[in-house]
């Protein structure tokens, strides 16, 4: 059976981008067709300045939202990355496989590093090495497929390179994974700045729809989305990024094709109204189930995470042990 692995960082409240680009596919497709593991990758949240209490709160909330969105612990494994030692254990071996040049080329490192410096903050070394930990997350579990948004393509490519290099040097230990993306909305853009990605760690504002926003707020954000000069509804990322973003979101919500949908609209107002309705209805059940889960004080979520960590640890340990042996480290006994 195919193995699938993916993760979400507790760096902010989950957004519509996280949902359309990743989580929704995990729920609707991936958990039904493979042995799938989904992780709150909390160690990755420490690569930028963070508040410990907030990371703790957001980790619980991310796990609860993953379950509220429909991940079923009977079908897949849901766990917190830091509960499974294999990830950091393997990360070190992969740091001995990757080169510093490779990591300095990562777009996310360049972007986030620039942002941190501009804010007068130092850049943590872990921001540079973070794609190696991500590779370890993936490779520790013998992953075949990594369902992610488009922004993660480069990191999964690096993971493939590291797996191939390691296997070539030390013998076959790792499966070489590939990234999969949703057919539309693999890169949801900020509604106020449709040339930049909707990111959960960005400064909150009207451009970001959070899964837990109430329907009125969601509607207002979509209705206020920046569109383009002109009035023709065109599906064209370069020339019409704002409208194209709305078309992608609407298509993802309604199961349509964004280019075809463009032909059905005469005005931006109608497009916004339909998109707002579609987003509100799509997120309604997730918000409702999240409220139910939150009302039991988190006991159910904690139990799912405990069982998930146990299964994930058992799954990863033999492969990471094999990697340790392959590079020439003595077995512990």
Binding residues (CB under 6 A) for ligand ATP: these are: 8-9, 11-12, 15, 17-18, 20-22, 148-149, 151-152, 186-188, 197-201
CA proximity to 44, closest of 104, 160, 159, 127: 127
Give the span between the Cα atoms of 197 and 188, in whole angstroms: 6
Q: Indicate the residue among 41 and 93 with the shorter CB distance to ligand ATP.
A: 41
Per-residue binding letters, 6-25, with ligand LTN (x by CB under 6 A)? xx-x----------------
SS3 content of the chain, % helix, strand, coil (to 5): 60, 10, 35
Provide the token pair at 305. 């995470």
Give the span between the Cα atoms of 263 and 189, in whole angstroms: 21
- Answer yes or no: 110 catalytic: no
Q: Indicate the residue among 157 and 236 with the shorter CB distance to ligand LTN.
A: 157
Q: Is 66 helix (H, G, I), strand (E, B) or coil?
A: helix
Q: Which does 305 bind (CB under 5 to 8 A by kind): ligand ATP, ligand LTN, none?
A: none
- Answer yes or no: 112 catalytic: yes
How many residues would you count in the chain?
Answer: 333
- Answer yes or no: 9 catalytic: no
Q: In angstroms, what is the minimal distance from the CB of 61 to ligand ATP? A: 13
Q: In angstroms, what is the minimal distance from the CB of 10 to ligand ATP? A: 8
Instruction: Quote the radius of gyration of the chain (alpha carbons, Å).
Output: 20
Strand partners, 40: 8, 80
Contact between 109 and 103 (Cβ < 8 Å): yes
Determine which residue in the list 78, 86, 139, 146 makes contact with ligand LTN, applying CB under 6 A: 146
Q: Which does 221 bind (CB under 5 to 8 A by kind): ligand LTN, ligand ATP, none?
A: none
Q: Which does 188 bind (CB under 5 to 8 A by kind): ligand LTN, ligand ATP, none?
A: ligand ATP
Q: Which does 155 bind (CB under 5 to 8 A by kind): ligand ATP, ligand LTN, none?
A: ligand LTN
Q: Annotated catalytic residue: which of 9, 110, 197, 221?
A: 197
Which residues touch 63 (CB under 8 Å, ≥6 apart)? 40, 78, 80, 301, 304, 305
∠ CA(157), CA(162), CA(167), 5° rounding?
130
- Chain residues 31-70 in contact with ligand LTN, contact rule CB under 6 A: 41, 44
Give the span between the Cα atoms of 18 and 212, in whole angstroms: 12
**Chain contacts with ligand LTN (rule: CB under 6 A):** 5-7, 9, 41, 44, 134, 137-138, 146, 148, 152, 155
Residue numbers annotated as active site: 112, 197, 200
């Amino acid at each position: 059976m195919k193995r699938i692995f993916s993760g979400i960082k507790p760096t902010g409240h989950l957004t519509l981008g996280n949902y359309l680009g990743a989580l929704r596919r995990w729920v609707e497709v991936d958990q039904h067709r493979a042995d799938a593991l989904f992780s709150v990758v909390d160690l990755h949240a420490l690569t930028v300045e963070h508040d410990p209490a907030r990371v703790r709160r957001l980790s619980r909330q991310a796990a609860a939202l993953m379950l509220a969105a429909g991940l079923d612990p009977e079908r897949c494994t849901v766990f917190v990355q830091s509960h499974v030692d294999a990830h950091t254990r393997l990360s070190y071996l992969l740091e001995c496989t990757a080169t510093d040049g490779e990591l300095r080329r990562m777009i996310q490192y360049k972007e986030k590093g620039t942002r941190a410096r501009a804010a007068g903050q130092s850049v943590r070394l872990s921001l540079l090495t973070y794609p190696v930990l991500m590779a370890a997350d993936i490779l520790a579990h013998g992953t075949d497929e990594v369902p992610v948004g488009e922004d993660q393509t480069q990191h999964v490519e690096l993971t493939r390179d590291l797996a191939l290099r390691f296997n070539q040097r030390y013998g076959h230990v790792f499966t070489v994974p590939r990234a999969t993306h949703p057919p539309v909305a693999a890169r949801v853009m900020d509604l106020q700045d449709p040339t930049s990605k909707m990111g959960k760690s960005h400064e909150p504002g009207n451009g970001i729809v959070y899964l837990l926003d109430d329907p009125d707020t969601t509607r207002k954000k979509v209705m206020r989305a920046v569109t383009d000069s002109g009035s023709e509804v065109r599906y064209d990322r370069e020339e019409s990024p704002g409208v194209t973003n709305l078309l992608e979101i609407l298509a993802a919500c309604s199961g349509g094709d964004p280019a075809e949908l463009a032909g059905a609209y005469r005005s931006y107002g109608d497009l916004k109204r339909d998109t707002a309705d579609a987003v509100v209805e799509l997120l309604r059940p997730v918000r409702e189930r999240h409220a139910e889960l939150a009302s039991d004080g988190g006991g159910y979520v904690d139990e799912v995470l405990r069982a998930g960590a146990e299964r994930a640890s058992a799954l990863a340990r033999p492969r990471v042990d094999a990697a340790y042996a392959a590079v020439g480290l003595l077995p512990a006994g």
